[in-house]
Amino acid sequence: MSLEAAEVAHLLLALIVLLTAAHLGGHLFARLRQPQVIGEIAGGLVLGPTVLGEFAPGAWHWLFPAGGATASVLGAFYQLGMLLLVYLTGAELRARRETGGQRTITYAAISGLALPFAFGLAVASAVHTGDLAGPNGSPAALALVFGMAVAVTSVPVISRIMLDLGILRTLFARIVLAVAVIEDILLYVVLAIVLGMAQARGADAYGLWASYGSDELAPTVAYFTVVPLLFLALSLWLGPRLFVRLSRSRANVLERRSPLAFRLVVVFLLCAACGGLGIDPIFGALVAGMCVAGASGAQAERSQETLRQVSLGFFVPVYFAIVGIKLDLVRHFDPVFFCWFLALACLVKSASVWLGARLAGESSAAARNLAVAMNARGGPGIVLASVAFGAHVINENFFTSLVLLSIVTSQFAGFWLGRIVSGSKPLMPGRSGETAGSGAGREPLVEDAR
């Protein structure tokens, strides 16, 4: 349970380098008005095989060894950072209760999610994608990952972009965020199905299904579809009220001594519950965020803010820096595949959102702006890549392309909307109050566009 002094020193040095690179990269990209997450990944990229490993392989292998105590502990920090990022995303999803533009929201959500997802499934089924699969990547699981990669939209990234541009309280922002919330929730449901199918195929299967389930595809898909949905529904029905009641109980010594510790216990408890059911713990982190966000009051807000600061100051930057380290653009990047995959994902997603907005009666310019904004994949796209790669559903080449897809689409969305706003052009022509200066709105929970 303990490390040698030399191992502790080595681990601390690795963490110092990771944190410094992540925050320097994030600061630089923030100054350039780019999503901070891209800078944090870029900081890790410099420390990985693409740069440091290429020019100083001895130093890279020593600082970030493939095995041993340092690798194991950094792997644990990587997992905790991802869980806390998803927890904060869940809290952000719960906090977003947008009103207005229901017709456009409905059409854009249906068209902008169903069409890209179905198209992605069709392409993955029609084209040979076996060279993208990992050891646990069945054709069905790989097709689901492909479909979600085409369809997903990022709430944190696009909300931060619109906050910086001063348009977070516009109808345009409400429509984009409402659709993105729906898409992100469905992303994690589909991700639970994919991971369930993967772990059912693997030798390291765990949880209820591993003990009593079947190896056949149909019951496996049914279980990992129904159980996550039931878990989500029951948690959202009972969770917020139960959390508020427990947090106010005089018998809750943990809440009175440390509200932060109580929130962490809730997160870890729901993650462990998902693990017991055979669902990936990441789904429990999402549900925990949605449950805890229902609490109100000054004490609850202070506790949530403290956890957010700890997460975004340490764990999440370490996670994104390690994502950057995992990117090997020298040996595991296929530029031909990435270019056609990027073009396909952007074209299908943008065209689907544009079609939905036009069917809802929006102008062509408004539909075009909505399409570009909802094409940003950001943090959820990176989480999709990380989890699918960690579960051995996809290989390193596809992982690299998924991360780069999230980065490029997020940058382009920021550039496009910034150009519209700087030119004082209406985001939704024909509607009032849809230009820059319409109000920055409150700062989102995941404030640095992860």
For the cut 60, the answer to whether the pLDDT of residue 438 exceeds it is no
Distance CA 41, CA 28 (A): 12
pLDDT at 402: 94
- Domain 5-422: CATH architecture, name and number where available: Up-down Bundle (1.20)
Residue 397 CB partners (closer than 8 Å, separation 6+)? 131, 132, 332, 333, 334, 337
Distance CA 37, CA 29 (A): 8
For the cut 80, the answer to whether the pLDDT of residue 202 exceeds it is no
Q: What is the phi-psi region of residue 361: left when phi exceeds 0, alpha when psi lies from -120 to 50, beta otherwise?
A: left
Distance CA 163, CA 33 (A): 11
Residue 363 CB partners (closer than 8 Å, separation 6+)? 428, 429, 430
Choose among 305, 388, 377, 300: nearest CA to 341: 377
Distance CA 438, CA 191 (A): 36
Is residue 143 within 8 A of residue 121, CB to CB? The reply is: yes
pLDDT at 443: 42
Q: Considering only residues 155 and 292, tell me which one the structure prediction assigns the higher pLDDT.
A: 292
For the cut 90, the answer to whether the pLDDT of residue 133 exceeds it is no
| Digit-coded pLDDT (tens) for 72-109 | 999 999 999 999 988 988 887 776 655 567 888 889 98
| Digit-coded pLDDT (tens) for 38-57 | 899 999 999 999 999 999 99
pLDDT at 98: 55
Choose among 341, 405, 355, 340: nearest CA to 377: 405
Record the tokens describing residue 320, joined without a space: 């994104």
pLDDT at 168: 74
Banded pLDDT at 201 (limits 50, 70, 90)? low
Q: Considering only residues 447 and 105, tell me which one the structure prediction assigns the higher pLDDT.
A: 105
| Digit-coded pLDDT (tens) for 353-387 | 999 999 998 999 999 999 999 999 887 888 899 98
Choose among 380, 446, 447: nearest CA to 407: 380
Choose among 308, 315, 313, 316: nearest CA to 445: 308
Q: How far is CA 264 from the centre of its chain?
A: 19
For the cut 90, the answer to whether the pLDDT of residue 1 exceeds it is no
* Of 10-19, 91-100, 269-278, 313-322, minimum mean pLDDT range: 91-100
For the cut 50, the answer to whether the pLDDT of residue 445 exceeds it is no
Is residue 139 within 8 A of residue 407, CB to CB? The reply is: no
